[in-house]
Amino acid sequence: MSPHFAHSGRQSESFMVPYEVRTGPRGLGLFLTGNVSKGQQIWKFRPEDHFKIHKSDMHHIEELLAKSPPEVATWFVRWIYEFPQYCNCMLLETDDGRFTNDAYKEHPTIINAEDGFFGVASDDLAQGTELLESYAASGLDQLKGWWQPMWDLYGQDNYNQ
């Protein structure tokens, strides 16, 4: 099954609350299937749910993405993020956390811990609430250095597919 379709969230070690992936106002997103209390842990970083991509891997990544259908490259780049507290690399997220949308100017429903290793509920959240984080507060709105050309090629400009 494609990861781009709605599905029930799996209770895993990375998510502490019941959720589902479904279409919402921002496209696919994470929506609570139960109530959550303010400060309750929602998600935690697990290295085994990510692939490390180092600068030395770029030649191979560029070759693979150039041979891939455009939508594959776009999704791949969307699910990559920088997490310097963990490694000097980019991370490809494989858990459902990749469907957490940006709150933009709205109030985020998830607040990431200062170290970035877990996220908690910003308020009491009702069933059906979309899980949103502030990409700006998390540093996810800015890619730096060696990964930027990949984002420029496959990322934001292709985001509306």
Three-state SS string over 67-130 comes to HCCHHHHHHHHHCEEECCCCCCCEEEECCHHHHCEECCCCCCCEEECCCCCEEEECCCECCCCE
d(CA 83, CA 78): 14
How far from the centroid of its chain's Cα atoms is residue 80's Cα? 8
Domains and CATH numbers, the chain: 7-152 (2.170.270.10)
**Cβ atoms 22, 31 nearer than 8 A:** yes
**Cβ atoms 78, 46 nearer than 8 A:** no
Other Cβ atoms less than 10 A from the Cβ of 50: the count is 24
Q: Give the model confidence (pLDDT) of 104-159 as tens digits.
A: 888 999 998 888 899 999 999 999 999 999 888 877 666 667 777 777 777 755 44
Q: Give the model confidence (pLDDT) of 68-116 as tens digits.
A: 888 888 888 878 888 888 888 888 888 888 889 989 888 999 998 888 8
> Of 116, 80, 125, 71, which is closest to residue 98 (Cα–Cα)?
80
Q: Does residue 151 or residue 41 have the better pLDDT?
A: 41
**pTM value?**
0.82
